[in-house]
Structure 1
Amino acid sequence: MNTNNHATPQEPILSGFGPRTTAQEVLGGQDLTGKIAIITGGYSGLGLEATRVLASAGATVIVPVKTVEKAQAALSEILGVELVRMDLMDPASIDAFAEKFLASNRPLHMLINAAGIMANPLVRDHRGYESQLATNHLGHFQLTARLWPALEKAKGARIVSVSSRAHQMSGIDFEDLNFNNRPYDKFVAYGQSKTANVLFAVEMDKRGRAYGVRAFSVHPGSILTDLSRYLTEDDMRAMGVLNEQGELVFPEFNDEFKTIPEGAATIVWCATSPQLNDKGGVYCENGDIASLTDTRFAPGVFEWAVNSGHAQRLWQTTEQLVGLEFSI
């Protein structure tokens, strides 16, 4: 079933992969020598695992970093990694990062937008924009726009936006994106930003595929990483990862919870798999394209996140918010 008028149906292709597949396994022995990847958030959690796996296959991985010392410690034993300063909440630093990369005249084969914040207290950037939207969506939109010449130069680039099943918690409130007039809810804000990640992939793929640039969004699975640092004990109990004794519950064979290598699998699959040649604009999970659903917190993607009209409107709204025209 395909409700958003893009080339690839939002339905599984029976890839042969599943929730227990690891990032190393989906790579399938591919040689990525000569390929260039940029991975935001590439020095912690899922991004770090994606960095490790792609670099181990020969790719050069550029990791934008806000805290250089932390990144150096995490990446010290991985060869083929370059660290460059960047802060997704700072538009000037995004532009400077992109300008430095473009000056190298290299193509960009994989852009993995994996950095993010989740369920934090209300913070606004200097423009007044809510921080989860600013970090998870607006910063990545600006970064992708600035890197467009290098993506086009690759003649077959892929863009992977790391979303979440939390997109099912909220669509886009176009009338009040930044919680100026409605009460701030940290989970609604997170859900809205994750829906934005999916809609970005829909419209990015529509605009980019004539140039060989395909875009995907990913639900990596439920994984305990540093992303959960703002969650309270009550939040974690509600999510089912903390029992009444205050102990972390990590059921090894429960499809809802994954290890970091398993969580990074769909990210790496979308960035590299030949199974996705000539495909794009779809939301993926468990190493496959997901189905549509209208059941909250069930596998699959909500229609509001893959709706072509919403995707186009968000693109235009985002251009206004970040003050750039990303016309392709």
Structure 2
Amino acid sequence: MTTLQQPIVSPFTAASTASEVMAGVELAGQLAVVTGGHSGLGLVTVKSLAAAGAQVIVPARDPQRARAALADIKGVTVQAMDLIDPDSIRAFSAEVIRQGQPVSLLINCAGVMASPLARDADGHESQFATNHLGHYRLTCGLWPTLVAAGSARVIAVSSRGHQIAGVDFEDIDFTHRPYDKWVAYGQSKTANSLFAVALDKRGCDQGVRAFSLHPGQILTDLGRHLSRAEIAAFDVFDEHGQQKVVPEMGLKTLEQGAATGLWCANSAALNGRGGVYCEDCNIAAVNEVESGRRGVARWAVDPDAAQRLWQLSEQWTGMSVR
């Protein structure tokens, strides 16, 4: 199961930045779609791709806000889309297909974390619905454009938070067990990793490879649902109230945090190695010991769990890749 889930020789480290990873990368003529691309890690990702010559589409729940954040970046357009709204995703995907340009990169960077219990229109828990089902629908909706690229990559931004919990297939939506916002978050991040495993299996013969990753521990708008006490417990601030930067411990700048996703999207070192979970600009080893440490939990790269999640996602959304 873990033949490919082993570190390789990489010129980059935990401290590498987006600009270092993208040095020499040419993306002229290529189209990328980046969810969450108007803030935080997504914004750095969009700037980096555009600087390399790519055209970038940023789907956004609040297009006006997104356009304001992206106004000074050449080659970037914004279209309306809400990850928790299937009709919105369907309309966005149809518009991208109508435009007729293949999508070489789909970077699923948007997400929610540790939010209060809420449900989508079908009753699914909102973190799972947004972080996994929304991106699953988007990938399926854009599938013809990804295949048309001839060589495309789909990047799922997971998190070390996946180590909190695997997918509870008996009660994904917390209809029987008490809701725990961190368990729900961990479950959704495990789903991101399993999604990449399952998608890569289905897409590799059509030229579409998939990867998941942990970007690092960076305090962004993702933490908007956290209290001051919860944020303080992460120990991300120094005595002067500034965010700590200790990349080898996962405490990174936005530039460092975006590096692994960009490496997954563009590195030739990953040719033929799809379906793997990455961190620190490398493939992560399996962590068999404890949570909160480097590596990927075995449950997040288990092919049987990935297959089960895919089949359930097909059932719940009525969508798949062809």
TM range (shorter): over 0.9
Displacement of 1:237 in angstroms is 2.6
Q: Give the structure 2 partner of residue 138 of structure 1.
A: 133
Aligned to 2:71: 76
Verify: 1:262 aligned to 2:290, yes or no. no
Query: Following superposition, which runs of at least 4 residues in structure 1 exceed 4 angstroms of deviation?
Result: none
Shift of 1:254: 4.7
| Residue identity (%) | 52
Q: In 2, Cα distance between the equivalents of 1:54 and 1:238?
A: 34
Deviations along 1:71-126, one digit per CA (max 9) or x if unpaired, are 11110110000111000010000000000000111111000000000001111111
Q: Deviations over 1:14-49 (max 9, x none)?
A: 212111101111112111100100000010100110
Partner in structure 1 of residue 244 of structure 2: 251
After the TM superposition, which residues 171-210 of structure 1 pair with which residues of structure 2 at under 5 Å, given as runs?
171-210=166-205
2: CA distance, partners of 1:80 / 1:26: 20
The equivalent position to 1:277 in structure 2, one of 271, 275, 278, is 271
Q: Distance in 2 between matches of 1:143 and 1:36?
A: 15
Q: 1:317 aligns with which of 312, 316, 322?
A: 312
Partner of 2:122: 127
Shift of 1:249: 5.0
Cα offsets for 1:231-260 (capped at 9, x unmatched): 1122123222257x8x64522235221000
Q: TM-score, normalised by structure 1?
A: 0.95
Q: Distance in 1 between the 2:17 and 2:232 partners?
A: 27
Residue 47 of structure 1 aligns to a residue in which SS? Answer: helix
Q: Which residue of 2 aligns with 1:46?
A: 41
- Residue of 56, 63, 66 corresponding to 1:61: 56
Instruction: Look up the equivalent residue of 2:101 and give its one-letter code.
Output: R
- 8 A contact 2:209–2:274 mirrored in 1: yes
Pairwise CA distance, 1:323:
2.4
- In the alignment, structure 1 residue 221 sits paired with structure 2 residue 216: yes
For 2:224, what is the secondary structure of its paired residue? helix
Indicate if the aligned counterparts of 2:108 and 2:135 stay in contact, CA closer than 8 A: yes
- Structure 1: which 5+ residue stretches go unaligned? none
Q: Deviations over 1:256-295 (max 9, x none)?
A: 2100010000010111111112221000000110100122
Please give the per-residue CA displacement for 1:183-203, whole angstroms capped at 9, x wherever unaligned.
Answer: 000000000000000000001
Counterpart residue type for residue 239 of structure 1:
F
Would the aligned equivalents of 1:236 and 1:242 in 2 still touch at CA under 8 Å?
Answer: no
**One-letter code aligned to 1:263:** G
Counterpart in 1 of 2:5? 10
Deviation per residue, 1:129-173 (Å, 9 max, x gap)? 111001000000000001100000001000000000000000000
How big is the alpha-carbon RMSD for the aligned residues of Structure 1 and Structure 2? 1.3
**In the alignment, which residue of structure 1 is the partner of 2:280?**
286
Q: Does the CA contact (< 8 Å) of 1:24 and 1:261 recur in 2? A: yes
Structure 2 unaligned segments of length 5 or more: list them: none
SS at match of 2:287: coil
Question: For this pair of structures, how many residues does the alignment match?
Answer: 320
Take 2:312 and 2:98, find their aligned partners in 1: how far apart are those partners?
29
CA contact (8 A) 1:119 1:189 kept: yes
Tell me how far apart the structure 1 counterparts of residues 164 and 312 of structure 2 sit (CA, whole Å).
21
| Letter of the 1:69 counterpart | Q
Q: Secondary structure at the match of 1:305?
A: helix
Contact kept? 2:36, 2:60, Cα under 8 Å: yes
> Which of 27, 30, 35 does residue 32 from structure 1 map onto?
27
